[in-house]
Amino acid sequence: MTSPLRKNTIRIVLEKVTLLGILTLLFLTSLPGHAQNNTHLEEEKMQWFQDAKLGIFIHWGLYAVNGIDESWSFFNGYISHNDYLKQTNGFTAKNYDPVAWADLIKKSGARYSVITSKHHDGFALWDSKFGDFNAKKASAAKRDVLSPFVSALRKEGLKVGIYYSLPDWSYQDYTHHTRDSMRYKPADDPKRWNTFLNYYQGQLKELSKTYNPDLWWFDGDWEHSSAEWEAPKVRQMLLDQNPGTIINSRLQGHGDYATPEQGMPVTRPKDNYWELCMTMNNSWGYQKNDHDYKSLDQLIGIFTDVISSGGNLLLDIGPKGDGSIPKEQEELLTGLGRWTQKHKEAIFGTVAGISKDHFYGPTTLSKDKSILYLFVKGNPNGEIVLRGIKNKINRIWVVGDGTKLSHKVVGKIYWSHYPGIKYIQVPDYVLDENMTVLAVLLDGKIDLYREDGSVIESN
């Protein structure tokens, strides 16, 4: 038997050793080299995201069977929860072809894809060990439908994004069930809340270990605070598994980029990294009665407005319950792919363009900012106008076919540093069927005139 004095001595020694270890760890992580490595990793992982420009969002779940609002239909009382769950019998995935999905996404020009592994209804697309409410154990599909798609994306060289709903309205130990029905509050039943935390964080660990996603797309964080979700802990847990993963903004302030939804920002967002998620029609998941699709020209117009402001577009598709992709969505992705392939030099790896004060349309710039790309909507009737560009123009060509174009400068006066107005001739025969793109090679990094006009003081 150890004496009380000896026990106390051992305890003090262990506490000192532990404290020494913590201090050593803090010292090592504070070294300049360690900080530089962390900074480099952050820059590197956000660089692929910024360069990617286009991603494809996929909302696929039970709601596709009857073509109703995903999860919200029972939450808002449009249908009972029991009737909602009956859709498991129609979720067959009998025509599901993950290889064809990935091929279509690749052909659209997208560099990454994000799929709903689990929406707010709690139905999981993979064979989760946490509960039985998933595609393999609780649907007519009787199989994991997430894994083959992730594998297909990887084979195509595409980045993998996993959407995960923080709320789970079907889980008995989650707080919310419907808009008018709340099971409990975390403060009133912390033990029950802890059961849910273990459940959802267990699923995240499972997804992280199995798929090692390049990007996490969280949703539903508004129902609880950062402390209640244990958001800092979750972020660190995911980064420990994959330090190069990216997390969206919907983890109560612990994400890497902003996610405006549906509405294109009117002014350029202040966030360094951002992504607009948008539907092709008016629905995220498949709805057989929603035929209000945007035209290809409209989608390209939105896309170019987004990249002109330095953002990404996450364009949504909603497969049917049998796994097939609606014809309209497939045609739009194919059309988008034709256009992005032709104009890839002006899209991928570029940076935000110039203000519309200088050109009435979207623009991007090469990374060294010596090439200005102009996205010309419609038929400009023979010419377009550039204002306030101080640089000399060395060359102008049509992106995708290389045709060289001419230009002239009007209003440049010898005694003023005002650069004049540059008119670029654009003949009809170079116009693209959707949107024409021009490349303007400057004599150096773009230099913009941002002053008021001069007054003649001597002539």
With respect to residue 376, please indicate whether it lies within any of the assigned structural domains: yes
pLDDT value at position 265?
85
pLDDT value at position 27?
52
**Single residue among 304, 319, 346 that ends a domain in this structure:** 346
163 — phi, psi (to 5°)? -85, 135
| Whether residue 437 sits in one domain with residue 304 | no
> pTM for this one?
0.89
pLDDT value at position 33?
54
Write the CA distances from 299 to 308, 315, 332, 409, integer angstroms.
14, 9, 9, 33
**Single residue among 296, 319, 346 that ends a domain in this structure:** 346
| Whether residue 77 sits in one domain with residue 225 | yes
CA distance 393 to 386: 11
With respect to residue 300, please indicate whether it lies within any of the assigned structural domains: yes
With respect to residue 167, please indicate whether it lies within any of the assigned structural domains: yes
pLDDT value at position 117?
98
| Whether residue 380 sits in one domain with residue 335 | no
With respect to residue 297, please indicate whether it lies within any of the assigned structural domains: yes
With respect to residue 66, please indicate whether it lies within any of the assigned structural domains: yes
Structure tokens at 281: 């029609």
| Whether residue 68 sits in one domain with residue 107 | yes
| Whether residue 389 sits in one domain with residue 337 | no
| Whether residue 304 sits in one domain with residue 367 | no
| Whether residue 369 sits in one domain with residue 302 | no
| Whether residue 216 sits in one domain with residue 153 | yes
| Whether residue 178 sits in one domain with residue 58 | yes
pLDDT value at position 14?
42
CA distance 434 to 376: 9
pLDDT value at position 418?
83
User: How crowded is the C-beta side of 350, counted as CA atoms within 13 Å?
Assistant: 30
**Contacts made by residues 349-355, CB under 8 angstroms, sequence distance 24+:** 349/51, 350/53, 350/307, 351/50, 351/310, 352/268, 352/307, 352/308, 352/309, 352/310, 353/308, 354/446, 354/448, 355/448
CA distance 407 to 415: 22
pLDDT value at position 452?
63
With respect to residue 239, please indicate whether it lies within any of the assigned structural domains: yes
List the CATH number of the domain containing 278.
3.20.20.80
- pLDDT, one tens digit for every residue, the chain (459 residues): 445 444 454 454 344 434 445 444 445 455 555 455 678 888 899 999 999 999 999 999 999 999 999 999 999 999 999 999 999 999 999 999 999 999 999 999 999 999 999 999 999 999 999 999 999 999 999 999 999 999 999 999 999 999 999 999 999 999 999 999 999 999 999 999 999 999 999 999 999 999 999 999 999 999 999 999 999 999 999 999 999 999 999 999 999 999 999 988 888 888 999 999 999 999 999 999 999 999 999 999 999 999 999 999 999 999 999 999 999 999 999 999 999 999 999 999 999 999 999 999 999 999 999 999 999 999 999 999 999 999 999 999 999 999 999 999 998 877 778 888 999 999 999 999 999 999 999 999 999 998 765 544 444
| Whether residue 371 sits in one domain with residue 336 | no
Residues paired with 439 in a beta bridge: 373, 397
List the CATH number of the domain containing 423.
2.60.40.1180
With respect to residue 227, please indicate whether it lies within any of the assigned structural domains: yes
| CA 441 to mean position of chain CA atoms | 30
pLDDT value at position 38?
76
Is 295:38 a contact under the CB 8 Å cutoff?
no
With respect to residue 26, please indicate whether it lies within any of the assigned structural domains: no
pLDDT value at position 8?
53
Domain of 149, in residue numbers: 39-346
Number of domains observed in the structure of the chain: 2
